[in-house]
Chains A and B, each alone.
Chain A
Amino acid sequence: GQNIDQPTEMTATEGAIVQINCTYQTSGFNGLFWYQQHAGEAPTFLSYNVLDGLEEKGRFSSFLSRSKGYSYLLLKELQMKDSASYLCAVLTTDSWGKLQFGAGTQVVVTP
């Protein structure tokens, strides 16, 4: 099976930067997703990485190191609306449709 670990909760101030780490142990890695989920709502897609390196998309960036089994999601210029749970999910080659999700990191943005 896969082990996907991410911190349970992080707190940061409005305007600051927060980095959410995700480590995974898996065979047949086929990409890593980040989703955002506000309380009581459905998850929404943020990013997909399959090659090593940094992908930047506005205030959000995602990094992947396949050799280290490590990814992070970087949130810059934090806004109150960024308070949400951030889910790391891994796709493997043994199933074209099965995303394995971590437990999620709750980010709390304070004024």
Chain B
Amino acid sequence: GAGVSQSPSNKVTEKGKDVELRCDPISGHTALYWYRQSLGQGLEFLIYFQGNSAPDKSGLPSDRFSAERTGGSVSTLTIQRTQQEDSAVYLCASSKAGGPFEQFFGPGTRLTVL
């Protein structure tokens, strides 16, 4: 596609439920990133994929968070047993490779945990 797309754009869920967030990167981009941004804060790195493997998942806040990438393309971020502190905008980005390359960001998924 023309840019990075994410779905859903908004997700409201109840505490304790599981959620799945989807990211479709720019075609041909081998690197994919997940970040989250809380209100008024900078971006917090979560995980980085190169192809289908994740060389750096150091930013995942707890074992309730997991992510996978299949076919070197689509990625899903799963949050199990959501908590109110998980409420944030989750941003996905892709770049042609890992490292010093421009990252193109998607519009984000706004997650609200009630």
Q: Please list the residues of chain A having a beta carbon within 8 angstroms of any beta carbon in chain B.
A: 30-31, 41-45, 48, 50, 87, 89, 91, 95-104
Contacts and interface: CB of A to CB of B under 8 A. Distances in A.
Interface of B: 4, 31, 33, 35, 41-45, 48-50, 55-56, 58-59, 91, 98-100, 102-108
B42 A97 contact: no
B42 A95 contact: no
B61 to A, nearest CB: 15
B107 A95 contact: no
A96 B55 contact: yes
Given A31-B100, A97-B99, A102-B42, 6 more contacts: A42-B105, A43-B43, A45-B103, A97-B31, A97-B50, A103-B41
Given A42-B107, A101-B43, A95 B100 contact: no
Contacts of B33: 97, 99
A42 B45 CA distance: 15
A99 B91 CA distance: 13
A43 B42 CA distance: 11
